[in-house]
Amino acid sequence: MRLRVATRLLQIQRVLVRHGLDEIILATHLFRPLRFAFYLSPATWFERRKGGPRGERIRLALEELGPIWVKLGQALSTRRDLLPIDIADELEKLQDRVPPFPGLEAKAIIEGAYGKPVGEVFAEFDETPLAAASIAQVHTARLRSGEEVVVKVVRPGIRAKIERDLEVMYVLAQLARDYSQEGHRLRPYEVVQEYEKTILDELDLMREAANAAQLRRNFAGSKLLYVPDVYWDYCRPEVMVMERIHGVLVSDMDELLRRGTNIQALAENGVEIFFTQVFQHNFFHADMHPGNIFVQTDDPQRPVYAAVDFGIVGSLDARDQHYLAENFLAFFDRDYNRVARLHVDSGWVPKDTRVDELEAGIRTVCEPIFNKPLSEISFAQVLIRLFEVARRFDMRVQPQLILLQKTLLQIEGLGRQLYPQLDLWKTAQPIMQEWGADRLSGRNIAQELRRQLPDLSESIRMLPQLLQQFVQKASEGTLRIRVDNEPYAELRREIRASARRRDQTIVGAVVLLAGILWLAFRTDWMPGVLLTAAGLLTALLARRGSE
């Protein structure tokens, strides 16, 4: 496996050199020892420095490197405020203009999935892709019953490419964890594990279809978001068929303005949709780049979002959702002491963290951003400064929150493109307050009790029987209470090992001293050298055993 990883690293460097991205190689310590092999290679002399602007060269390099790198470019493309314009414009093309694979290959995959020719499944099928992305591409079709649909097909051989690059990411993460001072806090290995689950789930289109169906139920009757219907009879792990929707890409501002779209309402609705998904439904679309979002403008003053591509969704466990919501509410109220205490209570920072010091650090970062429009602040910049505070207090990365953080940054980037004056905090605050009030309402508590009632009733029903068994075993003297002794056994083992290391150190010191004295007072030096060497070796072994 290490050979395959090393080979892939060489391939990555070759792509970077070929596209004239030498500055990335020079800035990356891992590649530096390898770059001379390419600079001295005649093949590289002819491949290096393809023409074209730097943004185009970066985009082409990401496309050539494969799906994981394309997704990196997609994520960066939503942050035009953090990138030079020329690079942002090129990376935006990765959202829906990734080079497609041949339509004949797509037909072969579809026919293999259905076990019959495409003509027997669809009345019409367009071999020319409508859109191509890093994991799959989409073709338009018409069912024999007349409905317009889109057919999504997974790229051939994509799993092997993803698994290969995941191996590279694991190696880099392990190196960062073992040799970086920040490794224990940033938890790179756990982050890669979380990303692996996410991207491998994307390869199963049955899972994506289920995600779409759930999101459609959550927003049934909504005037904010429309989710296309899934045609389950035509769905397979490598093929998915959905209702075709018509609308304007959310990034096409010229067309939206030409249609008289209420851009402010559109931007505010996007924020409301995000917070509704996270805190009311606890099920959110986590790939919100502009290539996946359309706008239906039948009523331009009440525009409706239409989402596609449901391969990446997220949800939070009850504990993380609670702490995250409380953090948002405390931020909105500028209650920095509560924010600090929540970070300690949730375990996001060590338990011995001084709350007053953490509070002061958070206040310093957050206080300047309130009461400002989005055009004057950047949530990404705030996060960067918060990470600086976090480093001081040894805050550990929470891998389960990474999808949410990425989606929030995408929402901010989308809002900035649509309506720079949008106040993210002002728009989100009433949604969060309503969620908090509803969570503590009598109706919500009654619903939760009703959900728990079957389990509670069963426990109560079994209680007399369990109590009788307990009393009977106690009276017979057969009652046994199991205690987990493993922590104590581990402690005993460590004490014994420590005692052995101590004894070895003492023995080594005595032998070393004997060797030194022999060398000092005797003329035959060989035994003294042997004693000294034996003492040093014993002491070193004892020390190594303690590490």
Long-range Cβ pairs for the range 76-82 (8 Å, 24+): 77/289, 77/290, 78/288, 78/289, 78/290, 78/409, 78/410, 78/413, 78/414, 79/380, 79/409, 79/413, 80/413, 80/416, 80/417, 81/378, 81/380, 81/413, 81/416, 82/378, 82/380
Reference 293, options 368, 224, 230, 348; nearest CA is 224
Residue 283 and residue 277: Cα distance in Å, rounded?
A: 5
Contact 305, 251 (CB under 8 A): no
- Cα torsion angle, 478, 484, 489, 495, sign: negative
CA dist 330 and 342 (Å) reads: 9
Give the dihedral of Cα atoms 103, 105, 107, 108; nearest 10 deg: 170
Which helix (H) or strand (E) segment holds residue 295: the answer is strand 293-296
Q: Which two tokens stand for residue 175?
A: 């190196």
366, amino acid identity: C
Q: In the annotation, is 86 catalytic?
A: no
Q: How far is CA 378 from the centre of its chain?
A: 20
Residue 535 to residue 547: CA distance in whole angstroms: 19
Residue of 287, 298, 335, 394 marked active site: 287
Q: For the chain, what percentages of helix, strand and coil (3-state, to nearest 5) are there? A: 65, 10, 25
What are the catalytic residues?
287
